[in-house]
Structure 1
Amino acid sequence: MTDTDLKPKPKTKTARPPLYKVILLNDDFTPRDFVTKVLKSVFRMNEGEALNVMMTAHQLGASVVAVFTKEIAEEKSQQANDMARDEGYPLAFTTEKE
């Protein structure tokens, strides 16, 4: 037998992916019922959550809807924007790095 010193292997940590916020931008033309419909269907919010996010956007000009990885944030933002465009509303969602 030989004496060998085994060096411990360095532990590699997997970095968490950066997170992105989906932001609802206020507009004065899209009906409230439609905004809550989009928030409930795309972001799976209940009625109270959807109303709260919508009213925050109305009062402050924008509201964070949810936080996801970049791909999911962009996908959900696009789904919500597509729903609005299909109905002819200017409702807009955007994403930004957290």
Structure 2
Amino acid sequence: MPDQPSHNPAEHTTGEAAAPAPDALRADARRNRERVLEAAREVFSARGVDAPMSAVARRAGVGVATLYRRFPTRSSLVAAAFDDQLTVCAAAFDEALAD
């Protein structure tokens, strides 16, 4: 079957569907997202970023489909899970360079 163009305009420019901003989500979806991020931090810290996505979903208490709905790729989940830590590290690096 030939690839069908997406009806989502965000996919035409990035190749991936743009996830809604966390504050635009329903309360239950927001809670699920936070549980997935917390579980990802725990699983990736213990088993590395190559740990199965199903292990993250299981730890979060959500289905794999829920995980992929919010984070369509492993790299999007890793980036979101460690975003705060990366921001702190980048600030420390910039500060060190300024010295």
> Which TM-score band applies after superposition, normalised by the shorter structure?
under 0.3
Larger radius of gyration: 1
Greater strand fraction, Structure 1 or Structure 2? 1
Q: TM-score, normalised by structure 2?
A: 0.26
Q: TM-score, normalised by structure 1?
A: 0.26
Greater helix fraction, Structure 1 or Structure 2? 2
RCO higher in structure (CA 8 A, sep ≥6):
1
